[in-house]
Structure 1
Amino acid sequence: MTISYNWLCEYLPVKPIPEELSTILTRIGLEVESLEKFEAVKGSLAGLVIGEVLTTEKHPNADKLTLTTVNTGNGEPLRIVCGAPNVAAGQKVVVAPIGTTIYPVNGEPLTMKKAKIRGEESQGMICAEDEIGLGSSHAGIMVLDASLQPGTPASEIFKPAQDWIYEIGLTPNRMDAMSHIGVAKDVCAFLNNLEHTHKYQVQLPAIKALPQAATPLPISVTVENTDACPRYSGISITGVKVGPSPDWLKNHLQAIGVRSISNIVDITNFILHETGQPLHAFDADAIKGNAVVVKNLPQGTPFVTLDEKERKLDATDLMICNGAGEGMSIAGVFGGLHSGVSDTTQHVFLESALFNAGVIRTTSFRHGLRTDAATRFEKGVDISNTLFALERAASLICELAGGQAASAIVDIYPEPKHKTQVETTYAYIRKLSGSNYPADKIKNILRSLGFEVLSETAESLKVAVPFSKPDISLPADLVEEVMRIDGLDNIEIPTHVTISPALSVQPDGERVREKIADYLAGNGFHEIFTNSITNSKYFTPEVLEHTVKMMNNLTVELDVMRPSMLETGLESISYNLNRKNEDLFFFEFGKTYSVLEKGYGETNHLVLYLTGRKTTETWMHKSSPVDFYELKSYVQNILNQLGYSNLQWVESTAADLQPAWEIKVKNQAVVTLGGVSQQKLKQFDIRQPVWYATFNWDKILGLLQKSDNFYKEIPRFPAVRRDLALVLDKQVKFAAVESAARAVKSQLLRDINLFDVFESEKLGANKKSYAVSFTFLDTQKTLTDKEIDGVMDKLVKTFETQLQAEIRK
């Protein structure tokens, strides 16, 4: 929010210096993010003086230059070489003496120095208006009123506007401060609290009686949708003359960054920033049937807005229509091309209304029209302020554009709104704020802000909330008002803090996530964050049946919440590959979304993406591409880091992965991993293999929370290893061997490892040999050969029975 110091002070009974006012605003919760000086004319004509041309003569060495002597009221006349064709003796001109800096409309600032021009000395410059920022003309020097005295500062003659501009960081709930009068109310409340008084009140501008037109121009108003438009006010004004605004109005708007357009449009913008109430001016001659109808138009109705673009209306868009049912304006958002004020407008219908915040926000975003009016309506506008803003604007139009009121004020307000009532206790205010506010201070602050005290006791009070604060509905809101007006920096910091220890769920999910992230980053992975919203074209119709679809997507490409982490990661991989970054190790923590029978579901994931080479090729060794076993090793290491053992490997039919495996812990699938299918890679124009693993992070943490031995003591007794060579059918996978070994359920068997695979015709047709090591450990004592042999016998029998294995001797 941009606030002008000069403008704000028009409503204040006192005028603090700019720096003091900045401190006050920040103390009351209107944080000043920047304070900058504004100059309507760059440099504000500093150093420039009025001079009188005493003599002129032709330059001896240049046909287009003139030698002049100029009286600047300061001792000896200055000798100045001038190139303007209109310079003449006796003229009063603007002079830039030596040392003065001028700021041209076009070009860089220039500081005057003593110079020689074609051999003749020049002690300054006689200025044209574009050379000092007063205009765009460069036809010749400025010739001023002959009565002006030489030596008079030019700033006293032209009086260029200067101001201080505050950039305030408003929170979304503070619509009451989105105007100069709204900010002035807060400042007055602060001053009242500071001096324990009520004497500081906002000085509202006086509204002059409107001149009445000889010929009336009544325009009827009908509001068909009172839910979307609870109040609508308007007035007809005839005989207006559209033209430039006076300087004071231009300067007010220019200071806060609003471009001056015409007197009528400027007045509506001025009222918006003065009161916070958006207005709209219609060309009354364009209102067919002399009737204004507030209603909704059919779905798909075309409407051309002020920016000359045709938009298709939604059935929920509220429209301001004429008597013929044609749209003239998107209510509270943007005007129409054919009904707005133009240079030829002579009669105006002025609108001041309140529109439903939700309706305005939806329409504004749907059409991509983020206007000042929409921004205010969507946050809530003071419903009691429509008439004051309308009368104030009408008065200015009559004063500045020569208009006359041609109708009575129309005010459609079928269901007058009642003020919100809030009841609280002084004890609650003190407890929540942490400050021991006296009851009188609390009441003084609330009354200064416009609250009406309805009832009170020694312990409590009940107040009516002003319409200008629609965000206030709870006792906690009153506490916030009291704290900020008293000054947020006045809150005492206690010397002792009393807290109750809290029990946290173990293990800490954030610490577990950080541990795994550190492990992956330490092994060369880069963490990525991809968009949770993605493109529906990546997924099959079967997947989309259970996918969360966006109701109001901002782009065509981003229309669904991702049902899988794979696609958004492949987008990132494709982006990198197209830029010759081909060796990629990525990991990401994120969520997927789904439609459930009742509502929606979110699932947390950790995913790994590997593609390219394992290491950079060097003279010592050649590099090899990453493969499934590289991915598998990282997955197993992550699970080992988390304390998981006895993993179950199961072949999977996961879509888009070939091959695909699942890892189960306690019969729950926690990881799916494999190679991304060629069909999926083709979608993203990826021409090298990508290996992918997704951890169901919710299940991972859930299983950790049920573990009783997450931290284990280092074994004090030695482990024992035994090896077996198993001759098996070629189709038997090592996972089957591992599963069969685990089925023996020996407490001594700690680890199973495949360390060699041998295939030869000597083993028999369609046979292979697995060399498998078994590690045994007893945490309580040293193992004996007898104990180990007993377990090995059971393993051999299991392999022979279940896998038809032959033990090689």
Structure 2
Amino acid sequence: MTISYNWLCDYLPVKPTPEELSVILTRIGLEVESLEKFESVKGSLEGLVIGEVLTAVPHPNADKLKLTTVNIGAAEPLHIVCGAPNVAAGQKVVVAPIGVTIYPASGEPLTMKKAKIRGEESHGMICAEDEIGLGSSHAGILVLDPSLTPGTPAREIFKPFEDWVYEIGLTPNRMDAMSHLGVAKDVCAYLNNTANTLENKAKIPALAALPEAKDRYDISVSIENTTACPRYAGITLSGVKVGPSPEWLTHRLQAIGIRSINNVVDITNFILHETGQPLHAFDADTIKGRKVIVKNLPQNTLFTTLDEKERKLDAADLVICNADSEPMALAGVFGGLHTGVSDTTTNIFLESACFAAASIRPTSFRHGLRTDAAARFEKGVDISGTVYVLQRAAALICELAGGQAASGIVDIYPQPKPAVEVETSWNYIQKLSGKAYPADKIERILTSLGFTFISKTEERFRVAVPFSKPDISIPADIVEEVMRIDGLDNIDIPTQITITPSPASRPDKEKIREKVANYLASNGFNEIFTNSITNSKYYTPEVLATTVRMINSLTEELDIMRPSMLETGLESVAHNLNRRNDNLLFFEFGNTYAVTGEHQYEETAHLSLYLTGQKVTESWLHKAAPVDFYFLKGYVQNILQLLGIKGLQYKEGEQNTWEIVVKNKSVVTLGAVDNAKLKQFDIKQAVWFADFNWLNLLSLLQKTESFYKEIPKFPSVRRDLALILDKQVKYAAVEAAAKQVKSPLLQDLNLFDVFESEKLGANKKSYAVSFTFQDAQKTLTDKEIDAVMEKLIKTFQAQLQAEIRK
């Protein structure tokens, strides 16, 4: 929010310095992020003086230059070399003496120095208007009124406008401070609190009587959707002359970064930033049937807005229509091309209304129109000030544009809104704020802010909230108002804090996440963060059937909540590959979203790994080795081992993917990304992807302290076995069969060779598997080991039809 110092001071009973006001604003919760000086003329003509040209003769060494002597009110005239074709003796001009800095309309500032031009000394400069920022002409020097006195500061003649501009970081709930008057009321409340008085009040501009036109020009108003538009007021002004705004109005708007357009539009902008109430001016002659209807139109109704774009309206868009139900404006958001005020407009219908935030915000986002008016309506405006603001704007239009009231004020307010009432206790304010405020201080602060006390006792009080503060509805809001006006820096910080530590939950989710992230980062992975809002074009209709769609999407490409982690991760992979960053190890913690029923949604946490490129780059020592499934599987297993998860079961999935299941819970899905998916992102190299179901993973972690056991004293024994199996039998089946033997002596098994040959038989292969046995209590005997090996062999033969190679 941008606030002008001079403008704000118009409403204050006192005028603090810009620095003092900056401190006050920050103390009352309106944090000043920057304070910058505004100048309508850069440099404000500082140091420039009025001079009188005494003589002007040709330069002896240059045809286009002249030697002048100029009286600037000093003891001796200045000798200045001037190249302007129109310089002549007797002229009153603007002079920049030595040491003065000038600020041209374009280009860098220039500081005057003593110079020698073609052999002649020059002690300053006679200025053209573009050279000092007063205009764009460079045809010659600026010739002034002959009656001016030499030596007079130029700033006294031209009176450049100066101001200080505050950039305030407003929190989203502070709609009441989105105007100069709103900020002024807060400042007055602060002044009252520090002076223990109620005398400081914001200077609300008085309403002037409107001149009446001879001929009536009545325009009727009706509201069909009173929920979206609870109040609508308007007035017709005739005889308006659209033209440039007066200098004071132009400067007010320029200071806060608004370009002057014409007097009517400038007045509506001025009132918006003065009061916080948006206005809209229609060319009254374009309103068919002299009737304004506030309603919704059918889906896909065409409407051309002021920016000359034809838009398709949504059935939920609130529209200002004429008697033929033709749209004239998107209510509270943007005007129409054919009903806006132009240079030829003479009759105006001025609108001041209150539109519901729930209607304005979706329309604004739906059409991509983020206007100042929409920003205010979507936070709520002061419904009680609708007519006052209309009268204030109408008076200014009559004063500055020659308008006359051609109708009375039409005010449609079918269901007057009652004031919100909040009840709380004096003790509650102390309890929540940590400070014992006297009751009279609380009452003074709230009264200064516009609250009305309905009742009060020694224990409790009840107040009516001003309509300008739609964010206040609960006792905690009242405490906030008291604290910020008294000053948040006035809250004592206790020297001691008493706390009761709460036991940490097990497993500690944050520690587990950090542990895994540290492991991956230490192994060369980079963490990425991708947008949880993504493009529906990435997914099939089957997936989209259970996808969460955005009601008000920011762009056409970001219209759904992601149903899987893969696609947003591939966007990052593609981004890097397109910039020749070909070897990538990424990991990401994120959530996916799904619809599980009517108004029921599911959010699932994930850890995802993305691998592509070379795991070993080429060198003189070895060839390049690309990332493969086993490289990915190694990291997946290491993560699970790091977290102490055992009993992994591998299940083959679709499209060359595998699923790891633990205790009937799916923990990880891993494998190669499908070529069709890679083509969708224009990725031309293999990408490997692992997706951990993070919630399932956490649920499997132990909830007790880590435990330790002694390293066995007795040696382990290894036995090898070669199994001839059908080619389609996976090693996972061998592991599963071995575990069914359930021998406490079998500690580990490992596949160390795979052999395929026609000598083994058609469609046969050989697995060479090592088995490790150990007993923590004694040394194993061959008889004990042979007994277990015999059980293993029988199990392999029975379940896998395995043959044992001799």
**What range describes the TM-score normalised by the shorter chain of this pair?**
over 0.9
Question: SS of the counterpart of 1:360?
Answer: helix
Match of 2:626 in 1: 625
CA shift, 1:153, in A, is 0.7
Counterpart in the other structure of 2:721: 725
Return 686-695 or 552-561, whichever deviates more: 552-561
**Aligned partner of 2:115: which letter?**
A
SS across alignment from 2:389: helix
How many angstroms apart in 2 are the aligned matches of 1:257 and 1:708? 61
Alpha-carbon distance, 1:81 to partner: 1.7
Q: Tell me if structure 1 keeps the 8 A contact 2:185–2:202.
A: yes
In the alignment, structure 2 segments of 5+ residues that lack a partner are none
1:358 is displaced (CA, Å) by 1.2
Whether the aligned pair in 2 keeps the contact of 1:719 and 1:775 (CA below 8 Å) is no
Residue 784 of structure 1 and its aligned partner are, at CA, apart by: 5.9
Q: 1:759 to 1:710 in 2, by over 3 A?
A: farther
Question: Please, which moves more after superposition, 519-528 or 751-760?
Answer: 751-760
1:542-572 CA-partner distances (Å, limit 9, x unpaired) = 2232222333333333333222222222333
The alignment yields a C-alpha RMSD, in angstroms, of 1.9
For 1:234-258, what per-residue CA distance to the aligned partner results, in whole angstroms no more than 9, with x for missing partners? Answer: 1111222111111111111000000
Partner Cα distance (1:714, 1:115) in 2: 92
Q: Contact conserved, 1:724 with 1:807, CA < 8 A, in 2?
A: no
Q: 2:378 matched to which residue of 1? A: 378
In 2, the alpha carbon distance for the partners of 1:781 and 1:147 equals 120
The answer to whether the 8 A contact 2:105-2:130 is kept is yes
Segment drifting more, 673-682 vs 164-173: 673-682
Report how far residue 86 of structure 1 moved. 2.3
Q: CA 1:803 to 1:221, structure 2 compared with 1: closer, same or farther past 3 Å?
A: closer
Amino acid at match of 2:93: V
**Aligned match of 1:320:** 320
CA-CA distance at 1:575 after TM superposition = 2.9
Q: Which amino acid aligns with 1:727?
A: L
Whole-Å Cα distance in 2 between the matches of residues 130 and 689 of structure 1? 63
Letter in structure 2 aligned against 1:652:
G
- Structure-1 separation of matches of 2:618 and 2:320: 70
**1:420-450 deviations in whole A, cap 9, x for unaligned?**
0000011111111111111111111111100
Instruction: Report what 1:479 is aligned to.
Output: 479
C-alpha separation in 1, matches of 2:339 and 2:805: 96
What is the letter of the counterpart of residue 42 of structure 1? K
Structure 1 letter corresponding to 2:77: P
Paired with 1:604 and 1:678, the residues of 2 have a C-alpha distance of: 26
SS in 2 for 1:397: helix
* Aligned residue type for 2:751: L
Q: Secondary structure at the match of 1:65?
A: strand
Give secondary structure in 1 for the equivalent of 2:144. coil
- How far 1:768 moved relative to its partner? 3.5
Contact 2:755–2:765 (CA under 8 A) maintained in structure 1: yes
Q: Take 2:448 and 2:777, find their aligned partners in 1: how far apart are those partners?
A: 78
3-state SS in 1 of match to 2:34: strand
Q: Which residue pairs with 1:46 in the alignment? A: 46
Identify the range of structure 1 (447-456 vs 565-574) with the bigger mean alpha-carbon deviation: 565-574
Alignment partners' CA distance in 2, 1:698 and 1:614: 30
Partner of 2:440: 440
Dislocated runs of 4+, deviation >6 Å:
none
Letter in 1 for 2:569: G
Q: Verify the 8 A CA contact 1:220 1:291 in the aligned structure 2.
A: yes
Q: Distance in 2 between matches of 1:758 and 1:280?
A: 83
Matched, 1:249 2:245: no
Deviations 1:691-726 (A, max 9, x none): 222111110001115x55754445353451322213
Kindly indicate whether residue 676 of structure 2 is the aligned counterpart of residue 679 of structure 1. yes
Q: Which residue of 2 aligns with 1:703?
A: 700
Distance 1:784 1:436, change over 3 A: farther
Larger displacement relative to structure 2 (515-524 or 13-22): 515-524
Deviations 1:399-424 (A, max 9, x none): 11122222211111111111000000
Q: 1:750-773: CA deviations, max 9, x gaps?
A: 322112233455555554433322
Q: How many pairs were matched up?
A: 804
Aligned: 1:517 with 2:513 = no
* Residue type of the alignment partner of 1:313: L
Summarize the Cα distance change of 1:338–1:759 in structure 2 as closer, same or farther, 3 Å threshold.
closer
Give distance in 2, aligned partners of 1:293 and 1:695: 56
Identity of counterpart residues, as a percentage? 72
| Distance change (3 Å), C-alpha of 1:117 and 1:587 | same
Instruction: After superposing the two structures, state which structure 1 stretch, 187-196 or 594-603, moved more.
Output: 594-603
Aligned runs of 1:637-786 on 2, under 5 Å? 637-653=638-654, 657-658=655-656, 660-705=657-702, 710-713=706-709, 715-718=711-714, 720-731=716-727, 732-760=729-757, 763=760, 766-778=763-775
Greater CA drift, 403-412 or 153-162: 403-412
What is the TM-score of this pair, normalised by structure 1? 0.96
1:242-281 CA-partner distances (Å, limit 9, x unpaired): 1111111111100000001111111111110001011111
For structure 1, the residue ranges without an aligned partner over 5 or more in a row are none
Is the contact between residue 614 and residue 624 of structure 1 (CA under 8 Å) also seen in structure 2? Answer: yes
Amino acid at match of 2:607: L
Deviation of 1:529 (Å):
2.1
Amino acid at match of 1:638: I
After TM superposition, list the pairs within 5 Å mapping 1:546-557 onto structure 2. Answer: 546-557=546-557
Instruction: Give per-residue Cα distances to partners, 1:372-421, cap 9 Å, x unaligned.
Output: 11110111000011112111111111111122222211111111111000
One-letter identity of the residue aligned with 1:333? V
Residues 213, 405 of structure 1: 8 Å contact kept:
yes
Listed one character per residue, the Cα deviations across residues 215-248 of structure 1 (whole Å, up to 9, x for unaligned) are 2222222222211111111111122211111111
Shift of 1:27: 0.7
Q: Is the 8 A contact 1:751 1:774 kept in 2?
A: yes
Task: Kindly indicate whether the alpha-carbon contact (under 8 Å) linking 2:724 and 2:760 is maintained by their aligned counterparts in 1.
Answer: no
| Counterparts in 2 of 1:709 and 1:256: CA distance versus 1, 3 Å | closer
Q: Distance in 1 between matches of 2:704 and 2:182?
A: 60
1:329 aligned partner, one-letter code: A
1:611 alignment partner in structure 2: 612
Aligned partner of 1:356 in structure 2 is: 356
Instruction: Report the equivalent of 1:457.
Output: 457
Q: Are positions 1:544 and 2:544 aligned together?
A: yes
Distance in 1, Cα, partners of 2:329 & 2:96: 51
Question: What is the distance in 2 between the residues matched to 1:677 and 1:339?
Answer: 55
User: What one-letter code is carried by the residue in structure 1 that aligns with 2:646?
Assistant: S
CA distance in 2, matches of 1:779, 1:498: 51
Q: Is the contact made by 1:721 and 1:775 (CA closer than 8 Å) also made in structure 2?
A: yes
The one-letter code matched in structure 2 to 1:682 is: K
Query: Is the CA contact (8 Å cut-off) linking 1:727 and 1:767 kept in structure 2?
Result: no
Q: Using the TM superposition, name which of 365-374 and 764-773 deviates more.
A: 764-773
Aligned counterpart, 1:230: 230
User: How far apart are 1:781 and its partner, in Å?
Assistant: 6.3
Q: Which amino acid aligns with 2:288?
A: K
Amino acid at match of 2:310: E
User: Secondary structure of the residue that 1:108 maps to in structure 2?
Assistant: coil
User: Equivalent residue for 1:572?
Assistant: 572
Cα distance in 1 for residues equivalent to 2:242 and 2:681: 58
For 1:247-396, list aligned pairs within 5 A.
247-396=247-396
8 Å Cα contact 2:95-2:125 kept in structure 1: yes
CA deviations 1:667-714 (Å, max 9, x no partner) are 222111222233333333333322222111110001115x55754445
Distance 1:643 1:132 in 2: 76
Q: Label 1:682 to 1:244 Cα distance change in 2 as closer, same or farther (>3 A).
A: closer
Q: Given the superposition, is the C-alpha separation of residues 612 and 204 from structure 1 closer, same or farther in structure 2, using an over 3 Å criterion?
A: same
* Structure 1 residues 754 and 334, CA gap change in structure 2 (3 angstroms): same
How far did 1:318 drift?
Answer: 1.5
- Once residues 751 and 573 of structure 1 are traced to their aligned partners in structure 2, the CA distance between those partners, rounded to angstroms, is 38
Comparing 489-498 with 138-147, greater Cα deviation is found at: 138-147
> How far has the Cα of 1:345 moved from its partner?
1.5
- Of stretches 474-483 and 284-293 in structure 1, the one that deviates more from structure 2 is 284-293
Shift of 1:786: 5.7
